[in-house]
Amino acid sequence: MTDTTTRVAIVTGGSGGIGRAAAERLATDGFAVVVHYNGNKERAEETVRAITEAGGRAVTAGGDIADETAATELFDTAAREFGGVDVLVHTAGIMPLSPLATLDLDVFDRIQRVNVRGTFVVGKLAAQRLRPGGAIINFSTSITRLQPPAYGAYAASKAAVEAITLILARELRGKDITVNTVAPGPTATPLFLEGKSQELIDQIAGNNPFQRLGEPGDIAEAVAFLAGPARWVNGQTLFVNGGAA
């Protein structure tokens, strides 16, 4: 099935958390969605099932987004199934935590490969293949401003994402493609909650004026804004954290 009039989105990391919420939110806006996963096909299929049962269109596609061949197949899937691609929502990333003094450098390299190289690879492909009127939406984190201990390698990778975003926005002059970054604050996803005590979660939740964690749906609203009406927002990092930073 192909339809060049339908807007099409690729959502990396769409098998759960913020990625799933973004995929479902875009589907409600009429997007056909390619739900990317790397290791959890079953959860990606659950996202697709939720979209299709609500009347939308979606397919899964797997692969390592830091591998150019695998990432190319992701874009090929969008073209084959839906006729092209208009929006890239790049949520895929990893967040191992450790103080710098004890950080295993193999872990550091893995963080940079997934978070930095992955952003570079999919951004490169999106720059080549998105249709006019499109949008690239990368993901950073409010940690780049909050800067707590143990987040050094992760924060470094996401600061790089913010730099890549602005540079790519400027490089796409004349293409009618926006490039922005969403930087969530603490959000109730498995990635954030894993390994934290309830006491720590409550403490973190109290650090913003709303005194709660963000929900994936809160972040998905910002994605929908940047994917749709926000044509004059370009090269920006949008902090979506309830006022925590």
Q: What is the pLDDT of residues 217-238, one digit of tens each?
A: 999 999 999 999 999 999 999 9
Measured in whole angstroms, how far is the alpha carbon of residue 182 from the centre of its chain?
Answer: 8
Q: Name the class of domain 8-185+220-240.
A: alpha beta
CA distance 60 to 133: 24
**What tokens does 151 get?**
């987040």
- List residues with catalytic annotation: 154
Triad 113, 170, 166: Cα angle to 5°: 45
Residue-range domain boundaries for the chain: 8-185+220-240
Say whether pLDDT at 1 is over 70.
no
Nearest to 92 by CA among 118, 123, 112, 127: 118
Q: Look up residue 107 and give its amino acid.
A: V
pLDDT, one tens digit per residue, over 14-49 is 998 999 999 999 999 999 999 999 989 999 999 999
Q: Is the pLDDT of residue 51 over 80?
A: yes
Start-end of H helices in the chain: 17-28, 41-53, 68-82, 105-112, 118-129, 143-146, 152-171, 190-193, 198-205, 216-227
Q: Which two tokens stand for residue 204?
A: 């973190």
